[in-house]
Amino acid sequence: MRARRSIQGPALAALALSAWASLTGAAAAQDLEPRAYSPSPVGATFVVAGYAHSSGKIAFDAGAPINNAQADLNLATVGVSHVFGLAGRQASVTAALPYVWGDASGDVGESRRAITRSGLGDLRLRVGVLLIGGPALSRKAFAVRKPSPILGVSLLAVAPTGEYMPDKLVNIGANRWAFKPEVGVSFPMGRWQADAYAAVWLYTDNDDFLDGKRRERDPMGAFQGHLSYTFRPGLWAAVNGTYYQGGATTVDGVRDGNRQENARVGLTLSVPISRTQSILFTGSEGALTRFGGDFTTFGISWRALTFN
């Protein structure tokens, strides 16, 4: 990892930290995931490879000495998800590993400052179970099932595996664990499907923030809503929205003025390219940004399905 210029002063630190948290931190309440609780047959394994690009302005408090702050960030991810039966219910386990690169810049007083970073991000692990409407079914039984409302729960854990240097203000990794318990519901209505999720992000402390300081983070509430339409099997589109608030940080007992209260909207298009593969196109932008990245994001991912 490297910086194009030396980073000095809390203002530029806040700029860069905000930019990276908007894309790489466990506060990824910005995630827009339609059909996250859709059923699948037992034994299905999904392999995913994706890329996303985010760019835009960074919002600060009106009194902050920063102007024209912006960031240009990239995220490449590989992941795998496996579906299995658990006490007669459908369950899944997912692992995803990101690689991040990009830069942030802004005017601090009369000086233009910039920073560049690249490296592996924090590993994401998720376990989910469909409690209602998602029995564990074989491929044959699943093919003739009738869609029904679904209630599911999941737990996402973000492990501190990303690149981290304790003498740097800005890092790819967060150097602490994060957990997101979530409840999701899904309602099929013919070709339409409505999804809604409610979650809370919980964070452990970073005990080695900038050479031994303790950085704490408040919980963050996150809510998602999605409405999708299926044109034919594998070909569907969705309108997405999310709202999240909280997540202010404290460093050695000093409270930071970085509590988030943001909302995003987006679109998703899934296009099948074979019976077992599809391409997912995504786009989203900020609808309300009180603090942090007000980004426009575009992404594409390849998904393949296999059976054990």
Cα separation, 305 vs 221, whole angstroms: 32
Other CB atoms within a 10 A radius of the CB of residue 299 amount to 19
Cα separation, 100 vs 117, whole angstroms: 8
Cα separation, 270 vs 193, whole angstroms: 14
Other CB atoms within a 10 A radius of the CB of residue 131 amount to 12
Q: Identify the pLDDT of residue 68.
A: 74
Q: Identify the pLDDT of residue 23.
A: 44
Mean pLDDT by 10 residues, the chain (308 residues): 40 50 47 91 96 82 64 91 96 94 77 83 95 95 94 96 85 91 97 97 92 91 97 96 90 84 93 96 86 83 92
Closest of 156, 242, 170 to residue 201, by C-alpha? 156
> Domains in the chain and their CATH numbers?
10-307 (2.40.128.130)
Quick one: how many helices (H) and strands (E) in the chain?
Answer: 2, 17
Q: Identify the pLDDT of residue 199.
A: 96
